[in-house]
A and B are shown apart, each in its own frame.
Chain A
Amino acid sequence: MMIVACLFCLMLFLFDDGGSKGDHPVNFYADIIPVLTKAGCNSGACHGAAAGRGGLHLSLLGSDPAADFESIVHDLEGRRVNLAKPDRSLIFAKPTGQLNHGGDVVLASDGPGAKRMLDWIAAGARPATSRKLTHVEVAPRRLLSDSVLTKVPLQVMARFDEGSPQDVTQSTVFTSADPGSVEIDANSVAHIKRRGQHVVLARFLDRILPIQLSVPFFDKAVDLGNEPSANFIDEEVVRVLSELKVPISPQASDAIWLRRVTLDLTGRLPQPEVAEYFLQANSPGKRNAAVESLLLSEGFVDYWTLQFAKSLRLHSLPNEKEGMLAYDEWLRAEIRKGTGLDEIGRTLLIATGDSHVVGPANFGRMVSDARDHAELVGTFFLGMRLGCANCHNHPLDKWTQDDYHGLAAVFAKLDRGRHVHLAARGAVTNLRTNEPAVPRIPGERFLSVDGDHREEFARWAISSDNRYFAKAMVNRLWRSMFSQGLVEPADDLRDTNPATHPELLNRLANDFVSHGYSLRHTLKLIALSRTYGRDGSNPENEIARQFYSHYLRRPMMPEVLADAIADVTGVQDQFPDQPIGTRAIMLVDSSASTPSLDILGRCSGVAACSDGNAAAGGLPAQLHLLNGEFINSKVTSKGGRLHDMIARGRTDEEIVSEFYLRAMGQRPATDELKTWSARVADDNAVARTKKLEDLVWSLLNSREFAENR
């Protein structure tokens, strides 16, 4: 066997030296697996399913060539290959339709793939003995075309550890992320059908490369040459906008900007005195000063504690509130201090101790077992959904079952009782092998079977070796400022789901790392960019939603909306089992039911969720705002702001102006003030009060109020 293998190497070496395509002997790994992948044989819906299909099991998308070789050449007493009569081999006769095949004809019997398969069998159906794939290159990687209906031939070159580069276009699987926009024909030509920025994924063996194909949204050139940049965010965003010829919205007014940034950084509306001071100030550095002071406010701490609590699935365990309280207190303190997210992350990964005292020790108690732990680590630290790799290798990513169960094994010994500690024993079963999983750093290396590997994992996770942690974090921050991530879904970072602005994501991540993984630093950078400061959409640019030509209006999240209504009306909510004065954004415990927030669409339960707003609540939320006590009782409350102002004899104009300022962040324009004052005026005091109540109610139900815009 040894000799055969060496001879084979030698032959390969000799033949490949010629360099021209097709001279080398057919290699199972480099040539046959791609044929199977291209024909869809090893897809999850076919023989790549965990249980295989029709008796033949192949590894998903060829991820385990050695096992596939066994299945094809040795299983079924070798009937799948017929060395004497290659075209009688089942592996050839079935997919080409010469024998009845449950999956229909998937391989043309006279095509290049079929020929390669016959050549391979004729040459003895040898296993893959050498030839490691070292590099794959696609052309073009990016293309900007001026018009739709462009045809783009795609080419893929592969380089192996020996031999010259080889054109593997025909064995590459091209997938259009959106077939309605770009279609790939049988000759590997991309047909662009719509304007915009599109992605095609090229898969050859285990490599996946994105190809970006764009057509400007408009024909008219957009001159953004003079558009100033506050920092690199603007450079990157404007570059893409000019390529796509999208006109940009102007900068938002000071009032809109202040309301926006105050909501995004602290989850509350600007205080009236702050708004008035800011609006009349003339200093060029006033936006900078405003951001600085917001970042240092207690509102910032409350708001970002809630954001992280949601990502970390913070909730109280049955009859055990203490752990949740300790966790909340710790998280709040770290965010207040400005501890880097690297340090916070490391602590979460390794903390042990009495979870009623040691806050971060609760991290592992928010999940039920080691696998769930691995999945939470995946989403929070890597921005990845590893769940698929539990039962089979991830179909869209590089994660294998070994990665998944290996990561779970890192946390297998954790005792998740009140006193979190490492137990002497504990293992998870690798569902692929049915053996105890070997601890592993996903995508990297196996670790020794014994000992505590959490430190080692943490060292890797938060280091330059792991390119995902910083990206996952900045993408999350970006999303909370712009309502969409550079990668969407935000916890689904993978090669097959590229960012809309890959360079920007890289630069943000690098900048974040070089500034000590500082939450405040990156948020400040975003808040002060001109990109963030732009006005909402106009009819010219609303189509290009993903490219930041305008600010995307969005409904406030339920907790923020509740607090805003309480602040404007001057009537605080009283939440079940909470001290008086507790604001909705301080309710970090997602398992505690809060009916008024839940009906507005708050994420509840323990599942990870980062969204939730009144729009998600739909008609029920609308009905609640209409008939429920959420707004009604506050508007009519005798102790509230409205009735207080009425009692103190304030004029219609004073009342209208005050509520406008509190709700919208600026005083009404003169004509608005006049109109509204006239509409609420009434000689009858009772009737006037009702009109004023109706005005405040309408103000709080208006979209201008309920949205961050």
Chain B
Amino acid sequence: MTHQIRRRDMVRVGGLTAFGFGLADWFRLQSKTVLHAADGRALKTARSCILLWLDGGPSHLETFDLKPNAPVEVRGPFRPISTNVSGIEVSELLPRMAGICDKLAIIRSMTSPLGEHGIANRYLLTGYKPSPAIDYPSFGSVLTHVRRAQLVLPPYVAIPESRLANAGFLGSAFEPFATGGDPSKPDFRVRDLDFFPGIDESRMKRRREFLQEFDRKQSRFESPEFASSSSFDRAYRLVTSPEAKQAFDLSSETDTVRAKYGPRMFGQSCLLARRLVECGVPFVSVLNTGWDTHEGLSIPLRDGFSGAKVGVGLIPTFDQGYSALLSDLSERGLLEETLVIAMGEFGRTPKLNPRGGRDHWPRVFSVVLAGGGVRGGQVIGSSDRVGESPRDNPVTPNDLAHSIYVMLGVEPDLELRTADGRPVPVNQGGKLIQGLV
């Protein structure tokens, strides 16, 4: 065993598994995949992962890699501030994150050749450059596939939805479960989680029997992987479990906790992510859109709307949600076992364009990791004087994927199989990021 689990966790995790598989499964996995750092020390692996996906490509120059000494057309409107780690500076719009910088590993030398949203986000989320021949699966789907946890809760939850790289060749059983809706709304409910009026458990059970009978006829012709009822069964188990429903219920959080995460969708999505991780969900993604800032940076990034007195734009909203999540996880003793990733598909052009925005720039950008064994309080790699290219220690999305898999206890060499039986390794050619763990 490489990991300490308190009894409280065990009850919690175990209570939510369908047939008691989940926990045993994780133990088995833990004992098998002891991974080692470069210096030979055994690494702890994270039980869960929360991916905060900043869709559209957040500007590294306005967030984690400011260039105060660069020419004005590069520098942009915001100034850096110091953090609780001496020598590390972040944007003035991230004061709360500055206070927990000792928990963060900021990679400033991410680099990729892909500058179009669709293909870039697939590269970042799978570690593979998109190929016409193979539709590669994303982290969450691979983790779901490898762990095979028989949770009642979906093993991969997307809040509120996933328009990202999904299960790929692993197939629809490993697709993320999208909650829909907006967790910050008082009437937020996961769609269709409750029984239709007039239907009770006994009728639900009968429907299930009938349906199995209809589908038995068809599944005779097909290989077991395509067995029809699996997606129905998952849905069935979910809607018949009160504990599972409870996990999605934000109203059972106190007002103080809810307020800490901020009133907006991103913050409340982070809170929901924390609840799910607490209940044993291995992978939760939070989609945060709007980072494709081609014009007028200040409004979307700082203000939120023109004429705003208090900035409610993307960066302040992110700052509040992210820092609340990290502190909350930490206070509950979950941070050590939860890897938190914040990233988008690329950075933005060093030079402001004539419309006061920045365009796509994959050659260098920043990613922030925390928890799950990540060594905090450090900056990995750096970009050049104007944030145009990596200056040292370049990290490709492939390396990042490799490192994420290692931290989650998934052997990068592990072979997955496509529908026609072809072996494809979880990660190919990536390297563990030096000093990250």
Q: Say whether B232 contacts A694, CB under 8 Å.
A: no
Contacts of A619 in B (CB 8 A): 154, 175, 177-178, 231, 234-235, 238
Contact pick for B193, options A181, A599, A627, CB 8 Å: A627
Q: Say whether A497 contacts B207, CB under 8 Å.
A: no
- With known contacts A177-B132, A194-B422, A632-B199, A618–B175 Cβ distance under 8 A: yes
- Please, how many residues of chain B have a CB less than 8 angstroms from a CB on the other chain? 43
- With known contacts A538-B221, A694-B203, A620–B191 Cβ distance under 8 A: yes
Does B192 interact with chain A (Cβ within 8 Å)?
yes
9 residue pairs from A and B, CB less than 8 Å apart: A177-B132, A537-B222, A618-B178, A619-B178, A619-B234, A622-B231, A623-B235, A626-B235, A633-B196
Q: Which 10 A-B pairs have the closest CB atoms?
A: A698-B210, A702-B214, A178-B133, A623-B192, A632-B196, A622-B235, A45-B113, A627-B192, A698-B211, A618-B175
- With known contacts A180-B422, A497-B132, A624–B191 Cβ distance under 8 A: yes
Q: Say whether B192 contacts A626, CB under 8 Å.
A: yes
Contacts of A539 in B (CB 8 A): 223
Contacts of A623 in B (CB 8 A): 191-193, 235, 238-239
Contacts of B194 in A (CB 8 A): 627
Q: Say whether B232 contacts A636, CB under 8 Å.
A: no
Q: Say whether B420 contacts A543, CB under 8 Å.
A: yes
CB closest residue in chain B, given A538: B221
Contacts of A691 in B (CB 8 A): 206
A669 to chain B, nearest CB (A): 10
Q: Say whether B203 contacts A626, CB under 8 Å.
A: no
Does A363 interact with chain B (Cβ within 8 Å)?
no
B:209-255 near A, CB below 8 Å: 210-211, 213-215, 217-218, 221-223, 228, 231-232, 234-236, 238-239
Contacts of A17 in B (CB 8 A): none
Q: Say whether B196 contacts A629, CB under 8 Å.
A: yes
B:398-424 near A, CB below 8 Å: 420, 422, 424
Q: Say whether A703 contacts B215, CB under 8 Å.
A: yes
In Å, the complex CA distance between A153 and B84 comes to 63
Does A458 interact with chain B (Cβ within 8 Å)?
no
B167 to chain A, nearest CB (A): 9
Does A704 interact with chain B (Cβ within 8 Å)?
yes
CB closest residue in chain B, given A617: B178
B:95-114 near A, CB below 8 Å: 113
Contact with B along A515-542 (1 / 0, CB 8 A): 0000000000000000000001111001
- With known contacts A45-B113, A636-B198, A702–B211 Cβ distance under 8 A: yes
Contacts of A679 in B (CB 8 A): 210
Contacts of A44 in B (CB 8 A): 113
Contact pick for B191, options A536, A543, A599, A695, CB 8 Å: A599
Residue from A45, A542, A618, A624 having most chain B Cβ neighbours under 10 A: A618
In Å, the complex CA distance between A159 and B28 comes to 63
Contacts of B239 in A (CB 8 A): 623, 626-627
Q: Say whether A177 contacts B221, CB under 8 Å.
A: no
Contacts of B210 in A (CB 8 A): 679, 694-695, 697-699
Contact pick for B232, options A45, A537, A622, A705, CB 8 Å: A622
- With known contacts A618-B175, A619-B177, A626-B192, A704–B214 Cβ distance under 8 A: yes
Q: Say whether B235 contacts A701, CB under 8 Å.
A: no
Does B195 interact with chain A (Cβ within 8 Å)?
yes
Contacts of A542 in B (CB 8 A): 222-223
In Å, the complex CA distance between A538 and B236 comes to 29
Q: Say whether A704 contacts B234, CB under 8 Å.
A: no
Contacts of B424 in A (CB 8 A): 180
Does A628 interact with chain B (Cβ within 8 Å)?
yes
Does A357 interact with chain B (Cβ within 8 Å)?
no
Does A615 interact with chain B (Cβ within 8 Å)?
yes
B418 to chain A, nearest CB (A): 9
Residue from A599, A622, A704 having most chain B Cβ neighbours under 10 A: A622
A:486-520 near B, CB below 8 Å: 497
Contacts of A181 in B (CB 8 A): 133
Contact with B along A375-398 (1 / 0, CB 8 A): 000000000000000000000000
Residue from B180, B196, B207 having most chain A Cβ neighbours under 10 A: B196
Does A690 interact with chain B (Cβ within 8 Å)?
yes
CB closest residue in chain B, given A196: B420
Does B172 interact with chain A (Cβ within 8 Å)?
yes
- With known contacts A619-B235, A698-B214, A536–B221 Cβ distance under 8 A: yes
In Å, the complex CA distance between A618 and B231 comes to 8
CB closest residue in chain B, given A176: B133
In Å, the complex CA distance between A497 and B133 comes to 11
Chain A interface residues toward B at CB < 8 A: 44-45, 49, 177-181, 194, 497, 536-539, 542-543, 599, 615, 618-620, 622-624, 626-629, 632-633, 636, 679, 690-691, 694-695, 697-699, 701-705
**Apart from A49-B113, A628-B191, A702-B215: 17 A-B pairs, beta carbons within 8 A:** A44-B113, A177-B133, A179-B133, A180-B133, A536-B221, A542-B222, A618-B178, A618-B231, A619-B154, A619-B177, A629-B196, A679-B210, A694-B210, A695-B210, A697-B207, A698-B207, A704-B214
Residue from A45, A615, A628, A694 having most chain B Cβ neighbours under 10 A: A694
Contacts of A49 in B (CB 8 A): 113
Contacts of B113 in A (CB 8 A): 44-45, 49
Q: Say whether B218 contacts A703, CB under 8 Å.
A: yes
CB closest residue in chain B, given A704: B218
Contacts of A538 in B (CB 8 A): 221
Contacts of A622 in B (CB 8 A): 231-232, 234-235
In Å, the complex CA distance between A633 and B198 comes to 10
In Å, the complex CA distance between A623 and B172 comes to 15
Contact pick for B236, options A618, A626, A632, CB 8 Å: A626
CB closest residue in chain A, given B204: A626
Contact pick for B228, options A177, A627, A694, A703, CB 8 Å: A703
Q: Say whether A694 contacts B207, CB under 8 Å.
A: yes
- With known contacts A626-B192, A627-B193, A620–B132 Cβ distance under 8 A: no
B284 to chain A, nearest CB (A): 14
Residue from B175, B191, B192, B215 having most chain A Cβ neighbours under 10 A: B192
Contacts of A703 in B (CB 8 A): 214-215, 218, 228
Contacts of B207 in A (CB 8 A): 694, 697-698, 701
In Å, the complex CA distance between A107 and B17 comes to 57
- With known contacts A180-B422, A537-B221, A704-B218, A624–B199 Cβ distance under 8 A: no
Contact with A along B78-120 (1 / 0, CB 8 A): 0000000000000000000000000000000000010000000
In Å, the complex CA distance between A98 and B333 comes to 55
CB closest residue in chain B, given A701: B211
CB closest residue in chain A, given B209: A698
B349 to chain A, nearest CB (A): 10
CB closest residue in chain B, given A193: B422
Q: Say whether A628 contacts B192, CB under 8 Å.
A: yes
B:286-342 near A, CB below 8 Å: none
In Å, the complex CA distance between A620 and B235 comes to 8
B347 to chain A, nearest CB (A): 15
- With known contacts A538-B221, A627-B239, A632-B199, A618–B172 Cβ distance under 8 A: yes
Contacts of A633 in B (CB 8 A): 196
Contacts of A537 in B (CB 8 A): 221-222
CB closest residue in chain B, given A550: B221
Q: Say whether A699 contacts B203, CB under 8 Å.
A: no
CB closest residue in chain B, given A488: B132
In Å, the complex CA distance between A222 and B211 comes to 38
In Å, the complex CA distance between A619 and B132 comes to 26
Contact with A along B174-203 (1 / 0, CB 8 A): 011110100000000001111110110001
In Å, the complex CA distance between A620 and B154 comes to 11
Contacts of A690 in B (CB 8 A): 203
In Å, the complex CA distance between A695 and B134 comes to 40
Q: Say whether B177 contacts A620, CB under 8 Å.
A: yes
In Å, the complex CA distance between A275 and B273 comes to 51
CB closest residue in chain A, given B176: A618
Contacts of B134 in A (CB 8 A): 178, 180
Contacts of A694 in B (CB 8 A): 203, 206-207, 210
CB closest residue in chain A, given B233: A622
